[in-house]
Structure formats: structure tokens, C-alpha cells
Amino acid sequence: MRVAFVTNFCPHYRVRTFEIFSQYYDIDYYFFSAGNDWYWQQQNGVHSGNFHYEYLHGVSIGRTRITPDLPFKLFGGSYDAYIKCINGRFALPITYLVSRLRKKPFILWTGIWMRLQTPGHLLMFPITRFIYRHADALVVYGEHVKKYLLSEGVREEHIFVTSHAVDNDAHSRLVGEEEKIAIIQNLNIPQGKKIILYLGRLEKAKGIHFLIDAFASLNRDDSILVFAGDGAHRNPLVNRAIEVGIIDRVRFAGYVKPEQTTSYYAVAYVCVLPSITTKTFKEPWGLVVNEAFNQGVPVIATDAVGAAAGGLVQDRLNGYIVKEGSADDLASALRMLLDNPQLRETMGKNARTIIAKWDNEHMVLGFRRALDYAFEKQSATSRKFVR
């Protein structure tokens, strides 16, 4: 069975997913982006793996990537089904159109759980909603996405909820003491301090300014706040730390390579993902949660984080879910963990247990079920016409 899988690019955390999926089907992956998308840290690069793939040449007009070869690749491949992620104002309608012209199943993969309010998204939304409602099946990150799609008129039986996973084997590795000491010394963190970690892009939509205010309100010297990442909001964040008088207890690690992130989780006492909703963004998932859990680190996440709304973060079991945009709620959750090491240890153990089942095999199973459903629906339609 031949499948065309069209998505923007292969990030480091998707290599293993695509490799496992390719063990079940003859898949050609078509990547239409050069990895310069606005939401992607370009230092991370684009990747490949043990699967058939092609990065397509194209041009960018604003935020729209045009890849002229894509329709010809999709038409000429004799594919039995097409899978497309939600991204791509050119690639999405083209892939859907080819699937309809060839009368083959179309499966949409999405983590979006709100109507985005940019002019481009508003202009494209009627097309997007049409594809939502007419896809043969949809694979979604979690129940939060399913709930949103149901509100947009998608039939429930067409939606397949699956895990949103990382390579657990890579992120659960034992980090040696030398690695940990190197991180702590490099950040000039005094011995014995509890590290509160934010790892990711330093952008306003990540809610990190609320984290600064929450940490400042704790007014304690037993902990250090570490920002591991880079982005447009770095300078405002530094200025805010100075303004509230905590710059001496905040560390800015700068960009961290993907292969180095596990070491940062290993030294963390707690990881925080304080994302907020904007007109242009609502955290589809937050894979830092998966990564932190693999190192037994509890996570405090807001209710605007997909991993929280989607069921991976379980309030008071492996972390806390707090109201978005609330520095007070963040501070309260931090205080609970900082004051109770035994609670932190219990939550960390629960995190490891839960994430062990949240793996790439289970993620791929969601795609397989969606394909089986789409093919069965197509077969039933064919039998109906034969009668």
C-alpha cells in the first residue's frame, strides 16, 4: 500500500515517528518547507531518517510556501492514500484536491484547537473548514483538538485521537553526574539550589513574562529560574527580571541544541510551560512536557497548553495545571513543589510511568487506525455502487 505523507519538514523529534510509520506502509514523505518557518528555531535545522523522503524546491511569498512540483509528485506516484498536516496554505488544498481527483482517501493531521485570527488564517478558514468536514479521517493530538473539531461540524467517527510523542528511549537516558555538574557550573548556579526550568522559544505567546513575575513573588533564595532558549522576547525578559529585582536569581542559557536538552531536564527540579492564548497562537501540544517527564521532572503547565488540555499533564498527579495568564497561580504551584520534596518525587515517578505508554508506536497506531477506517469507508462506498 502506497501512501504520500505531505508535511512542512522533518524536525528532530519526528525522525523516529516517521521511521516507525514506514515499517507499516510504503510511504513517501514530501517536505515542502526549507525549515525557515516563523515558529521554528532555525538552529535546530531540518532532518531525515531511514525512510523515503524528498525536500521540495519552492519559493516563499509572505508566509505561503509555493512548491510547484508537489501536485506532479502526488499525481504521479500511484498512491493509495494521502496524509497531510494542517500547515501549508498551498500544500494543504493541493494535496486535498489531488486526493479527490484521484478518488483516494485523504487523512488530515492536526493539533490546532482554536480559530486563528490572522488575516491569512481568516481568509483561508472557509477552505480549512471544508477540508475538516470532508476529510476521510482526521488524526489529532488529543481530546482538546477533537472537541474543537466537533464544534466545527466534523463527524465524531472521522476523528482519531492519538498520542503526541517523542523518542522516549532518547529522552529517558541516564544522565551522568559529570553532565549535570557541567550544566550547573556553566550557568554559575550555587550548589544545592532548586532549578526551575523553562526550555523553549523566548516568545511572548509562551507566557514567560508571567513566569518571571511568579518567581519574583516567591521571594525565596533556595531556587534559581533558568531560561533555556532564545527568541525575540529575551531582552524584555531580562529587563523585567531587573525591574522586579531578581536578575541575580535568573539564568539565561541561550539556545540549547536538541541533543543537549536532556541534560537540562536532568538537573531541573520542576519544568514550567506557561503558554498563553493569542490571536495567532495556542500551544498545540508542548513536547517539552514529554521530554521532561522522561527525566522524571514534574511539569507546571497552563490550561492553554495542548499537553495539559490533551491529558498528558494530570493535575496533582504528575504536575499542575494552572489558569493561563495568572502569575499568582504559577507561584502557588511552584510554592507547593518547592516546599514539598516528597511531593515532587512522587509526581516525578508518576511522570515516568505515564510517559512510558505515551510513545511513538502508540502515535503511529492512531494513523494506522485512521487509514484502516478511510479504506474501509472507501470499500463500503464501492460495494454500494456495485450493487
Rounded distance between C-alpha atoms, residue 104 and residue 122, angstroms: 28
Q: How many CB atoms lie within 10 A of CB 83?
A: 27
**Whether pLDDT at 174 is above 70:** yes
pLDDT in tens, 319-347: 999 999 999 999 999 999 999 999 999 99
Lowest mean pLDDT among 91-100, 226-235, 370-379: 370-379
Q: Are residues 182 and 279 in the same domain?
A: yes
Q: Are residues 99 and 206 in the same domain?
A: no
**Whether pLDDT at 385 is above 60:** no
Q: Are residues 119 and 13 in the same domain?
A: yes
Q: Are residues 278 and 339 in the same domain?
A: yes
Rounded distance between C-alpha atoms, residue 295 and residue 226, angstroms: 17
Number of helices (H) and strands (E) in the chain: give both, helices first.
Answer: 15, 15
Q: Are residues 89 and 219 in the same domain?
A: no
Q: What is the pLDDT of residue 14?
A: 97
CATH of the domain at 316: 3.40.50.2000
Rounded distance between C-alpha atoms, residue 182 and residue 260, angstroms: 12
Question: Quick one: average pLDDT of 15-21?
Answer: 98
- Give, in degrees to the nearest 5, the angle at Cα 341 between 340 and 343: 70
Q: Are residues 249 and 160 in the same domain?
A: no
Q: What is the pLDDT of residue 35?
A: 83
Rounded distance between C-alpha atoms, residue 217 and residue 198, angstroms: 17
User: Residue 320 pairs with which residues in a beta bridge?
Assistant: 300
Q: Are residues 347 and 365 in the same domain?
A: no
Cα 201 from chain centroid (whole Å): 12
**Whether pLDDT at 270 is above 80:** yes
Question: Quick one: average pLDDT of 119-141?
Answer: 93
Q: How far is CA 37 from CA 34, 60, 191, 255, 387, in A?
A: 8, 10, 39, 17, 49
**Whether pLDDT at 296 is above 60:** yes
pLDDT in tens, 36-76: 776 778 889 899 999 999 999 999 888 889 999 999 999 99
**Whether pLDDT at 359 is above 80:** yes
Q: Are residues 107 and 11 in the same domain?
A: yes
Instruction: Quote the cell numbers at residue 145.
Output: 483538538
Q: Are residues 161 and 179 in the same domain?
A: no
What are 41-45's contacts with CB under 8 Å, separation 24+?
Answer: 41/201, 41/229, 41/230, 41/231, 41/255, 43/255, 43/257, 44/11, 44/12, 44/257, 44/258, 45/12
Q: What is the pLDDT of residue 386?
A: 44
Q: Are residues 330 and 378 in the same domain?
A: no
Q: Are residues 226 and 147 in the same domain?
A: no
Q: How confident is the model at residue 380 (pLDDT cuts 50, 70, 90)?
A: confident
Q: What is the pLDDT of residue 34?
A: 82
Instruction: Quote the cell numbers at residue 29.
Output: 514523505
The percentage of the chain sitting over the pLDDT mark of 70, rounded to a whole number, equals: 98
What single-letter DSSP state applies at residue 38? T
Question: Quick one: average pLDDT of 367-385?
Answer: 82
Q: Are residues 58 and 150 in the same domain?
A: yes
Question: Quick one: average pLDDT of 365-382?
Answer: 89
pTM of the model as a whole: 0.95
Rounded distance between C-alpha atoms, residue 275 and residue 59, angstroms: 31
Task: Please give the tally of structural domains in the chain.
Answer: 2
Q: What is the pLDDT of residue 381?
A: 66
Residue range of the domain that includes 157: 2-165+359-386
Rounded distance between C-alpha atoms, residue 167 and residue 294, angstroms: 10
